[in-house]
Amino acid sequence: MDTSKTKILIAGEGGQGIQTIGKILSRAAFAQGLKTLYVPNFGVEQRGGVSVAFVQISEQELSYPKFEKADLLVVLNERAIKRSASYIGPATKIISNNSLIAAEILPANNNVTEIDATNIANKEFTPQTLSILVLGAILPFLPLLKKEYVKKAIGEQLGSKFKAKPELEALNYKALERGIALT
| pLDDT 10s digits, 75-98 | 999 999 888 999 999 999 999 999
Instruction: Provide the pLDDT for residue 38.
Output: 97
Beta pairing class for 93-97 and 72-75 = parallel
Instruction: Provide the pLDDT for residue 90.
Output: 92
Instruction: Provide the pLDDT for residue 1.
Output: 64
**Along the 183 residues of the chain, how does pLDDT read in single tens digits?**
666 899 999 999 998 999 999 999 999 999 999 999 999 998 766 567 899 999 999 999 998 888 999 999 999 999 998 889 999 999 999 999 998 887 777 777 779 999 999 999 999 999 999 999 999 999 999 999 999 999 999 999 999 999 999 999 999 999 999 999 999
Q: Is 17 left (phi over 0), alpha (psi -120 to 50) or beta?
A: left
How many Å apart are CA 107 and CA 140, to the nearest integer?
22
| Beta sheet of 50-58, edge-to-edge order | 35-42, 50-58, 5-13, 72-75, 93-97, 112-115
Domain that holds residue 176: 5-182
Instruction: Provide the pLDDT for residue 47.
Output: 62
Give the chain's domain count.
1
Cβ neighbors of 78 (< 8 A, separation 6 or more) are: 100, 101, 102, 105
Residue 91 sits in a domain whose CATH number is 3.40.920.10
How many Å apart are CA 159 and CA 173, to the nearest integer?
13
The SS3 of residue 58 is strand
How many Å apart are CA 44 and CA 130, to the nearest integer?
22
